[in-house]
Amino acid sequence: MSDVVTLGECMALAYPDEPAGLEDCTRLRLDLAGAESNLCIALCRLGHSARFISRVGQDPFGARIRRRLEQEGVDVSALLADPHAPTGVFFREHLPDGRRRVYYYRAGSAASRLGAGDLSAEQFSGAKVVHLTGITPALGPGCAAACRKAIELARQAGALVSFDPNFRPRLWSAEAARAALLPLMRQADLLLMGHEDARAVLGVDDPLEALQAAAALGPRVVVLKQAEQGALALADGEVTRSPAFPVERVLDPVGAGDGFNAGFIAGQLRGLALADCLALGARVGAAAVQVEGDYQGYPYAREIWPEGE
């Protein structure tokens, strides 16, 4: 039994160990990354239990992902090893001028073969929150069906549904994303979106208009993440604002949104006030950007609550 259940793709990540293009670098670091697996790691570090449902290949990358998630305390009992498809891989560049480029090799990956049949009521039993992102349905019809099934099982388990649209233009067009994501957004209890999501899916740029348009879909709480501008939330007709957590230097922005989601959900699980949930999300997200890698900077509970709770 886990506090939070999520599903999606975790990939092997390779990137130069210094600012350089892939055509010029001589050494690569190997790690793992994925929005949902990042969330699981952050939640476990904050003292909560998290289950990750997915598929990896029956290959060294899949074994590495399983071992690393286990080391972080993530429940991988529903992480299947697929003998017929490889683990997805992607490469990321951090160029000397500060630009970053990403190259995905995930077509036909094991995770893209995830389907509704891989999910069971037992996996969701006792969950308090089921978290989904818009990345998963973009991977294929089977993954989209798995998301719909996850919402059904969340309702059966009495869990809240948390959803981050996480629009990725590399995976699909804004038009295709809107058609697939709006039905999922309507079923969310907690909608955690970024300003790019609001623009692509809702066609809105103004923050307050974005909150209102999203709330009209039905979620109980809508959050708008605005990076260095902080975050806003709309619940019960009232807007709550939270500033960004101060950061001295941004080394790697990837993983900040997933960290924010984890902090916000952790705050919800702990019964914190909405403003405190936003502040905790901001703190976890800010910790991610100050180190290289997606999840390495996520804080532990003892760092946030040194005196205990």
CATH number for the domain including 237?
Answer: 3.40.1190.20
Query: In terms of residue numbers, what domain contains 167?
Result: 4-11+34-89+111-304
- Whether residue 134 is contained in a domain is answered as yes
What does the pLDDT look like over 235-288, one tens digit per residue? 999 999 999 999 888 777 788 999 999 999 999 999 999 999 999 999 999 998
- Whether residue 195 is contained in a domain is answered as yes
Torsion angle of alpha carbons 82, 124, 187, 276, nearest 10°?
-110
pTM (whole model) above 0.75: yes
- Whether residue 104 is contained in a domain is answered as no
Active site residues per annotation: 258
Q: What is the mean pLDDT of the chain?
A: 95
Neighbours of 128 (CB within 10 A): 19
Q: Which carries the bigger pLDDT value, residue 1 or residue 151?
A: 151
- Whether residue 231 is contained in a domain is answered as yes
Q: What is the pLDDT of residue 254?
A: 81
- Whether residue 300 is contained in a domain is answered as yes
The two most distant CA atoms of the chain are separated, in Å, by 54
- Whether residue 95 is contained in a domain is answered as no
How many structural domains is the chain composed of? 1
Separation of alpha carbons 269 and 12, rounded Å: 30
* pLDDT-derived band at 309, boundaries 50, 70, 90: low
